[in-house]
Amino acid sequence: RFLLSGNLHGGSVVASYPYDDSPTHKPTGVYSKSADDEVFKYLAKTYASHHPIMRTGKPNCPGEEGETFQDGITNGAQWYDVEGGMQDYNYVWANCFEITLELSCCKGSLLGKDMVPRCCLCSARLLHYFPQVHIGVKGFVRDAVSGAGLENATIVVAGIAHNITAGRFGDYHRLLVPGTYNVTAVVMGYAPVTRENIEVKEGAATEVDFSLQPTVMPPALNVTQFTVTLAPGSTITPTPVQAEAPSSTSLHQPIQPVDFRHHHFSDMEIFLRRYANEYPNITRLYSVGKSVELRELYVMEISDNPGVHEAGEPEFKYIGNMHGNEVVGRELLLNLIEYLCKNFGTDPEVTDLVQSTRIHIMPSMNPDGYEKSQEGDRGGTVGRNNSNNYDLNRNFPDQFFHVADPPQPETRAVMTWLKAHPFVLSANLHGGSLVVNYPFDDDEQGIAIYSKSPDDAVFQQLALSYSKENTKMYQGSPCKDMYPTEYFPHGITNGAQWYNVPGGMQDWNYLNTNCFEVTIELGCVKYPKAEELPKYWEQNRRSLLQFMKQVHHGVWGFVLDAMDGRGILNATISVADINHPVTTYKDGDYWRLLVQGTYKITASARGYDPVTKTVEVGSKGGVQVNFTLSRTDIKVEEGKVPVLNTPDTSDPNEKEFETLIKDLSAENGLERLLLTSSGNISPYRYRPYKDLSEFLRGLYLNYPQITNLTSLGQSVEFRQIWSLEISNKPNQSEPEEPKIRFVAGIHGNAPVGTELLLALAEFLCMNYKKNAAVTKLIDRTRIVIVPSLNPDGREIAQERGCTSKIGQTNAHGRDLDTDFTSNFSRYPRTREPETKAIIDNLILKRDFSLSVALDGGSLLVTYPYDQPVQTVENKETLKHLASLYANNHPLMHLGQPGCPNKSDENIPGGVIRGSEWHSHLGSMKDFSVMFGHCPEITVYTSCCYFPSAGQLPGLWADHRKSLLSMLVEVHKGVHGFVQDKSGKAISKATIVLNEGLKVYTKEGGYFHVLLAPGLHNINAIADGYQQKHVKVFVRHDAPSSVLIVFDTENRVFGLPRELVVTVAGASMSALVLTACIIWCVCSIKSNRHKDGFHRLRQHHDDYEDEIRMMSTGSKKSLLSHEFQDETDTEEETLYSSKH
């Protein structure tokens, strides 16, 4: 919270202080004094007195030579009246004191030698101004019992009609000039404390702390105590209402609203801000979006813990003024806000309702239409529709008919809002009759006939709870002078039986969320005179309160994991014979509205064994029923393959990140992220190549710590193909972090994907270090964005070319999505430079876990393969990824693209295999799967290839949640490490999943693969080690970790190592024995020669001659050599011959 501020201007030399305007708005000469006039003069003089020109009071500006300011300061309005000035806003709406400093007579930049001395002159004065932030009084406001800081405590200084509020920890700082003051700390529910005669001196602030005693609250309704085991750090608020709260009695009369008038938008805005400021402990004012004319769609939250969903506490909403000229609901909801705020803490009924329910009130869903409507309108249509002239109650996706009108900003904002909260009950307030209308609003035939929902009995009870408290409504004959034949028994009716309304909001609530909604017509006159408003409040006050209490009827409780006691997100609660399940919220909490009776209720969740209980529901209050589910196939039976699940980790950062992924995977997790994100990202124009390049460079230069901009290569016409990486360490390799790729613009005539990815990049960068969830995702993910793969085609494509193929191909006329062919294909060809760039620099790096390609021409998602194949490996996972994107899109999952050229096309779930929709060879996603080992889906963003720029904000609103869901999903699946028994990491090991899909371990033995939720088989193979076979259970909301430890291979040629060694040893022994026998035999033969005499060679030459003779191998050679007898006697010769 800012305390002090300076707004630097040019055009004179003076310090100006509030107020800048006066009630009379006289152009000049009116001193408009603020409550802190002395403080502001002190601050202004501090700056001016140290400025050599300003302190003279004579700026001597050209044309204003005679203008003087005493002491160099002036009251803003006294100088000249400025309506809507920033310094006044700071003072009135925040804790911040701001003055305006006019620094120079010259408004333009200073050039040349005058610039440096003048800058030094001003900067030196600012150094004297900064320390004034420390003056006044400061301290803490704490609870006397617990010692906890009291946020938003009001600090009141006697004699100064301007209060400030304490910060989050009860800390406050109040700027004051030197003097003696009485200061009071006030907090609702606590006794105020005043500290008197506090002396404030020059310099540092005087420290004063406050300790406030809680006051005793009036007794509320009895609440049943209970105990539920949740994840560590989770809290549960017990909320079952055992009996109806008593109506106000004569002993206590609640405070009634007094603000009865028609509130135009600015007036309503001030009203809402006023109550948010006056009752900060029970209110939170927020906006869910903007109208066509950019008016905020405000919601006032009223709860004892605003801004927080308390486990076990149901959420309720009222929506008014959906039709701009039906204004009674708008004013009644403003009255209701006033009533709840003023009576909390004193009226038992209101206090219990606020403490046990999180209430959201949207006074106006169509503020633009309201501004066009006219007081006194009885049954007209002026202002009924929004500024685009569409009826918002015909603009929601319908179960029976295709709504052809484009989704409006108000509709989109409300749908996103409804998905972000676990609403249980709602009412939509209208005008023009007097009746409560319940689903369904239309039927398959499109005629006025009773269209019964599965919860028809519940809806009738809800409708009656309202009409019974409104005497005139309950009579059933609402508008006799306008519609004399119209009659509604007990003041309620089935919507379609009254008249058929396709595209209504109440049906969409029931079919797409856990919320039951009815439509309440509050009166025959749509825009009554202001003086009649008190009558409407009196007629509807009890009905509004009684209807809110119905949120506590039926069954509620928790669905918990038997293993760790944590709540199970998105578990299904089914009631036998009622075909309408509801799902659990992030803590496993659920609410199921039911009428009195006996029910069989089943809790089920993917990967868990279902549990069924018989429950008795009474006529009043709610019944708590908790379910504990055991995981399927989680125990290891003897002789079976072990099942590995996510191991517990002692690293608190890992646990925190796992919790974040679980929260973002919740039904409304991403909506909450978007509602809390910073910056208003809304693409409004298409960027040609030059602007796209400058935009990417701008992101890189402004966010250098988390971005890295590189070129993958050049197009045919030498345009760069840019790649932007977003990560906390964009220039470092982090193999343990999953890597995701977003690619757009493969067809230049479909540039919507390009703009969506640029918006995504800007959203991520702007929210880094500002939004905790986005920051953690960037810190743990490597995100690569290629916004335009075909920049040449994009340059010649034409806006509003919905079906034009101009720019679809690259400059060579080649469709790039047919160019991703293998080098081993039957007809190899030279790849286009754009294709080669992304293949060589991204796809074949094989380090991506997921790829998302954005195209145009329909509204659906395709998964591999685009080429005709008999079987698709890992089909369930690929289809799961595509379905995840479609389900996070408000329209895509309905499966009715509604494109003009295929108006009757039906794609179940908005997901289809590529070859079944548009079969072709050489697609990028097929190549990514087969050669890049990375799953890829293709998103077709809109029916029109190149829609008008005016549609871009709506397209971004539709797709941003789906794009973010991919960033969350890439962290799921299975990630693990492969090592041997000594702990040595094994890289390049093969991981075979489900007997088909293969991935390989990276450096450090790490691997990561995305898999659909469920049980999967893993075979790990590495040279020199035994093959390892395990099973892993993959959750839908968290990653599963696996540690695979290899045993050294003890089999040779498929035989046990011991057997092979024995056989080898025996073989060697036999070989040695055989050699010995041969040697012995040879030795015996050799010894026979020793029994006679034979001639020994005498000369070396004779030996050579013998060799030469033997080498010739002919008879002639033998004859040509004479026999030389060298013996001495004939007897020797004879003996030799005989031998």
| Tens digits of residue pLDDT in 463-514 | 999 999 998 999 998 888 888 888 999 999 999 999 889 999 999 999 999 9
591 shares a domain with 545: no
In 203-279, which ranges are E strands? 206-207, 210-212
Q: What is the CATH number of the domain that holds 185?
A: 2.60.40.1120
Domain stop point among 1017, 1052, 1087: 1052
161 shares a domain with 32: no
Cα separation, 657 vs 184, in Å, equals 43
574 shares a domain with 518: no
In a domain, 220, yes or no: no
In a domain, 1110, yes or no: no
Q: Strands 97-104 and 4-9, how do they pair?
A: parallel
Give the count of domains, the chain. Answer: 6
| pLDDT of amino acid 1120 | 45
In a domain, 243, yes or no: no
CA pseudo-torsion sign 484, 490, 494, 495: positive
In a domain, 224, yes or no: no
In a domain, 229, yes or no: no
Q: DSSP string of 411-432?
A: HHHHHHHHHHS-EEEEEEEE-S
888 shares a domain with 804: yes
Cα separation, 762 vs 773, in Å, equals 16
612 shares a domain with 710: no
In a domain, 240, yes or no: no
Cα separation, 514 vs 591, in Å, equals 8
| pLDDT of amino acid 776 | 95
Domain stop point among 506, 534, 552: 552
Tokens of 1035: 């959750």
Instruction: Give whole-number Cα distances, 619 to 162, 352, 468, in Å.
Output: 51, 20, 16
| pLDDT of amino acid 1134 | 36
| pLDDT of amino acid 1085 | 66
Residue 975, SS3 per DSSP:
strand
Structural element, H or E, at residue 915: helix 914-917
Helices 652-665 and 772-780: angle between axes, nearest 10 degrees: 110
Q: Single out the catalytic residue among 98, 102, 326, 658.
A: 102
Q: What is the block-wise mean pLDDT of the chain (1139 residues), using blocks of 10 residues?
A: 90 93 87 93 92 90 89 93 90 90 77 48 69 93 85 88 88 94 88 90 92 61 33 36 38 81 92 92 92 94 91 96 96 96 91 95 97 90 94 92 88 89 96 95 87 95 95 90 88 92 94 95 94 94 96 95 85 95 92 95 90 92 92 51 47 83 84 81 90 95 94 96 95 86 96 96 94 94 96 93 92 95 62 95 91 96 89 87 92 83 81 93 93 94 92 91 95 88 86 81 86 88 86 85 80 61 80 86 66 51 48 45 47 39
Residue 99 pairs in a beta bridge with 6
893 shares a domain with 766: yes
312 shares a domain with 167: no
Q: Single out the catalytic residue among 313, 315, 338, 521.
A: 521
Domain stop point among 552, 568, 603: 552
In a domain, 1060, yes or no: no
Cα separation, 932 vs 935, in Å, equals 8
724 shares a domain with 578: no
Contacting residues for 280 by C-beta, under 8 A, at least 6 apart: 151, 152, 165
- The residue segments making up the domain with residue 34 are 4-134
In a domain, 569, yes or no: yes
600 shares a domain with 537: no
196 shares a domain with 67: no
| pLDDT of amino acid 434 | 95
Tell me whether residue 521 is one of the annotated catalytic residues.
yes
**Contact status, residue 206 vs residue 200, Cβ threshold 8 Å:** yes
Q: Single out the residue of 1047, 1064, 1068 nearest to residue 1055, CA to CA.
A: 1064
Q: What is the CATH number of the domain that holds 61?
A: 3.40.630.10
Tell me whether residue 717 is one of the annotated catalytic residues.
no
1037 shares a domain with 950: no
**Contact status, residue 212 vs residue 185, Cβ threshold 8 Å:** yes
522 shares a domain with 443: yes
